[in-house]
Homo-oligomer: A and B are copies of this chain.
Amino acid sequence: MKTLRLNSNDRAVLLGSCFFEKLPLAATNAILDDVVVSTHEEHDILFGHGEPLDHVFFVLSGLVRLYRLGKDGREADIAVFPKGELFGESAMFLGNRATANAQTIETTMLARIDSRKLRKLAEQTPEIADALMQLLCRHAQMAEDCLAEDRLLTAPQRVASYILGNCPDGITNFSFRLPFQKNVLAGKLGLAPEALSRAFSALRRSGVTVKGRVIEIHDRQALERF
């Protein structure tokens, strides 16, 4: 892991992100004043469940996975964060202890924000507090969505739901490229890779074509009904 400072491209990613875009520039500058950038190889462990954590992380590029470990060593993904996402924020309000393990999935660059400082800024700046609360809500909802999908949907239905989530409404014919390996998608959906593969082939009958990482949809309605 090497550490650097923010360059102008990094700044652009930060400013365009969901968290920072609504903040006044002064607030953003105050937060970013002393951030450090770190680069990581794929599969680098960022922190472990329960460890002290005094940073919040922003993904400048790459991909990070949050997961928990079972007694037997099996892993369950909690969330996957692509470029532009902020994570690790909940430790800030829960005794500065990580609530899960974090690992890079690809070569990744992260901006590290001092959590003590961010918390202090949030106290002084209602806009920051508000942005944080929105972030927390979105993350809570991601987990709730996942939980509900796990409990209500079969594997092919979860995959259909994921595809539809990446397809603008009102369009029947659509194609897009997976932003990561199928491997990772399987983990995110709580499936074994084999099950994901079988789910895709089940969806073929509903007009879904898979070529490598490219997914093609020929009949949105059929997918929605699935």
Contact = CB atoms under 8 A, between A and B. Distances in A.
A78 interface: yes
Nearest to A94: B137
Contacts of A77: 151
Contacts of A132: 133
Contacts of A151: 76-77, 150, 190
Contact of A94 (B90, B99, B141, B143): B141
Interface in A77-111: 77-78, 90, 92-94, 99-100
Pick from A123, A129, A138, A153 the residue with the most CB of B within 10 Å.
Answer: A129
B90 A137 contact: yes
A78 B148 CA distance: 7
A140 interface: yes
A124 B126 CA distance: 8
Pick from A74, A77, A139 the residue with the most CB of B within 10 Å.
Answer: A139
A133 B150 CA distance: 27
A218 interface: no
Contacts of A76: 147-148, 151-152
Nearest to A128: B129
Given A126-B129, A132-B133, A140-B143, 7 more contacts: A76-B147, A90-B137, A93-B134, A124-B126, A129-B129, A133-B133, A147-B190
